[in-house]
Amino acid sequence: MAIDYKTEAEKLEAYKPEEGGEFWSPKPGQYKVKALSELEDAEPYEEEGKEPKPRMKLKLKIGNDEKTWTMTVGKTPKSTYGQLCNLARHKENKLQDVEFTVVVVSDGNKNSYTIVA
For position 102, which CATH number holds? Answer: 2.40.50
Tell me whether residue 99 is in a domain. yes
d(CA 117, CA 98): 9
Q: Collect all residues with Cβ–Cβ distance below 8 Å to 24 and sequence separation of at least 6.
A: 60, 62, 67, 68, 69
pLDDT at res. 4: 86
Structure confidence at residue 64 (pLDDT): 94
**69 in a structural domain:** yes
Q: What pLDDT score does 80 carry?
A: 97
Q: pTM of the entire structure?
A: 0.79
* Closest to 54 (Cα-Cα) out of 74, 27, 29: 74
CA distance 75 to 91: 21
- On whether residue 54 sits in a domain, the answer given is yes
11 occurs within a structural domain: no
Residue range(s) defining the domain that contains residue 85: 24-116
Q: Are strands 29-35 and 65-72 parallel, antiparallel or unpaired?
A: unpaired
Residue 3 lies in a domain: no
**18 located within any domain:** no
Residue 10 resides in a domain:
no
Please give the chain's pLDDT, 117 residues, in tens.
Answer: 688 888 888 877 775 655 557 999 999 999 999 999 999 999 998 888 999 999 999 999 999 999 999 999 999 999 999 999 999 999 999 999 999 999 999 998 999 999 999
Task: Note whether residue 7 is domain-resident.
Answer: no
Structural domains in the chain (count): 1
Q: Decide if 25 contacts 17 (C-beta within 8 A).
A: yes
pLDDT at 10: 81
